[in-house]
Amino acid sequence: MLPKQENLKLARRLAVESLLQSDLPERAAKSGSRLEQGEGRETRITLNYLSQEIKVFFPRGEIEAQEPVPLREEIIILHYLGWAKGVPLSGQWISFAEISGGTFYHPVFLQRCKVPLVKFFAATPELIKAAAGQFQGRALAIGDVGIEIPALPLVPLALVLWRGDAEFSAEGNILFDSSIGDYLPVEDIVILTEAVVWKIIKAGNRL
């Protein structure tokens, strides 16, 4: 069995190879990205990932950004480019369990995504507004405090918190546009959401 890092490198290489076999202008259009022709035969796809501009260069598959992007997140970006169907956002929020295949991964999703979010912001839910502002988050009229985060051009996430009281503990949820399955496979949705949650938590820690 390959070590975890080698598995990630293999997954990244396969994602690049798959994109090279696709129609890159179509991939850019369907993912809400921008395609530009560089010097020689180089092609560049530019998109936003959590408010950071990301440039993916082909045929090398190299990713350039202002801040380093972890390997796992590079793979998510490449998978997004390859998976995107180009369907419009529905504006209808659904839970992770409602995503096709989400039931199987739901316990993992709760442990890695929802539990850390609620645990960190339970005492001061308003803090999430300032933390999310660093990622172009905007207020949503859901829950006591709701924030929409544009994770990728056509993949918004809604982070929702309910304040606790003497009778009930603080609660929260993470919601997705119902089109999410047209932009990422369910395994990648877990990884993307976990990355977003921990970036928001780290931003909250700095406030």
Amino acid code (one letter) for 124? T
pLDDT at 4: 84
Tokens 């395609």 sit on residue: 35
Task: Please tell me whether residue 58 adopts helix, strand or coil conformation.
Answer: strand
Domains observed in the chain:
4-83 (no CATH), 93-205 (3.30.310)
- 141, with CB counted inside 10 A (0-12, 13-18, 19+), is exposed
**145 phi and psi angles, rounded to 5 deg:** -140, 120
- 186-205 vs 102-109: helix crossing angle, rounded to 10: 20
SS3 content of the chain, % helix, strand, coil (to 5): 45, 25, 30
Q: Which helix (H) or strand (E) holds 49?
A: strand 43-49
Distance CA 81, CA 83 (A): 6
Distance CA 147, CA 178 (A): 17
Per-residue pLDDT tens digits of the chain, which is 207 residues long? 456 889 999 999 999 999 999 999 999 999 999 999 877 678 999 999 999 999 999 999 999 999 999 999 999 999 999 999 999 999 999 999 999 999 999 999 999 999 999 999 999 999 999 999 999 999 999 999 999 999 999 999 999 999 988 788 899 999 999 999 999 999 999 999 999 999 999 999 998
Cβ density class 162-195: b for 16+ within 10 Å, e for less: bbeeeeeebebbbbbbbbbbbbbebebbbbbbbb
Distance CA 107, CA 138 (A): 28
| Alpha-carbon distance values, 130 to 121, 137, 168, 175, 200 (Å) | 12, 9, 25, 19, 9
**176 phi and psi angles, rounded to 5 deg:** -135, 150
In this prediction the pTM is: 0.95
